[in-house]
Amino acid sequence: MKRKPSATLPSGNDDYSGPKSPLRVMQIVELLAAANNGLSLAAMTQALQIPKTSLLNHLRVMVGADYVSLRDARYTLGPASMRLGAIIAADAGVLTAWRPVAADLVARGGETAMLATLDEHKAEAVYLDVLNSPQDIRYSPRIGSRWALYCTGVGRVLLAFQDPAFIRRYLAEANIVRRTALTITDRARLRRIVEEVRSSGVCVSQGEHTVGAGAVAAPIIERDGRVRHAIGIGVPIARLEKQREVLAGLVVAAARQVSWTLGGHGTDPAASAGTSTPQQPPRKAATKTSPRPMKTHIHERSYP
């Protein structure tokens, strides 16, 4: 059924008094998203109640950046807007699959559960969601915060499961600095650690980014075999040593469950119900960039 654009679009805040350009850009995107066959400039002017000259200036910039396409005097969403929508939808799907798993992870492990995604452009890990530990002393990163790949648990996992060319470029060009006394900055050693993380499917880091804080992390492997997200457990180092193997098992099982929910390389939680450790996922045909099957063994020598 063809949808008709509304006469006006709400700004979301009638008292908004900031710059109008960002708001108008989002209104344009929203209007075109609701129009199956595109809209003429006149129809958009009427719907948005924006002066024709101002709207045309916005559209010219958006067409130039591929956020809007123009054909036969009608405007539609461009490939850049489609890409943005796909990214938002992907994160929304991961969040939906992650949240019940996160609640179980906190209940069973007693520590903070974290979901991070890879910003490929800036080569950083970005925290999408955090479910805090109920304990008084806990590790709790801020949602939206950006962390380096080379010195964090989720960062190393996200790095280890990328294309080899991405890994080589990152390790060669990244600004690797010593954040704490435990931060590993030797690039050759970091390369070995990344290889071990890819082989084992789990990473343990201790005090390399934040003094007194550690993490255990594992990748979410999606249907196309790519790793865009990682699950982590944040824990004070004082409690990490006694729980390394237990937390590693929990985070790997959680990552497999979310992977399976997303149609990827994981384990059906119903199939492994009642077992103490998750079943091994079915092997895939080997490819140049396919992740290796995950194990729960931790390479002790790699993490001081």
pLDDT in tens, the chain (304 residues): 444 444 333 434 444 445 678 889 999 999 999 888 899 999 999 999 989 999 999 999 999 999 999 999 999 999 888 878 877 776 778 888 899 999 999 999 999 999 999 999 899 999 999 999 998 888 888 898 999 999 999 999 999 999 999 999 999 999 999 999 999 999 999 999 999 999 999 999 998 999 989 999 999 998 888 999 999 999 999 899 889 999 999 999 999 999 998 887 665 444 433 333 333 333 333 333 344 434 433 333 333 2
Does 185 lie in the same domain as 106?
A: yes
Burial class (CB in 10 A: 0-12, 13-18, 19+), 134: exposed
Residue 157 and residue 38 in one domain? no
Whole-number Å distance between alpha carbons of 29 and 39? 12
283 and 138 within one domain: yes
Q: Are residues 91 and 73 in the same domain?
A: no
Domain span at 189: 86-302
- How many domains are there within the chain? 2
The answer on 264 and 201 residing in a single domain is yes
What distance in Å separates the CA atoms of residue 76 and residue 69, rounded to the nearest whole number? 5
Within this chain, do residues 128 and 178 fall inside the same structural domain, yes or no?
yes
Q: Say which CATH number the domain at 50 has.
A: 1.10.10.10
Together in a domain, 210 and 108: yes
DSSP secondary structure letters along 114-157? EEEEEETTTTEEEEEEEE--SSSS---PPTT-EE-STTSHHHHH
Crossing angle, helix 20-33 and helix 79-109, to 10 degrees?
90
Q: Are residues 155 and 278 in the same domain?
A: yes
**Last-in-domain residue among 77, 102, 124:** 77
Instruction: Specify whether 150 is located in the same domain as 189.
Output: yes
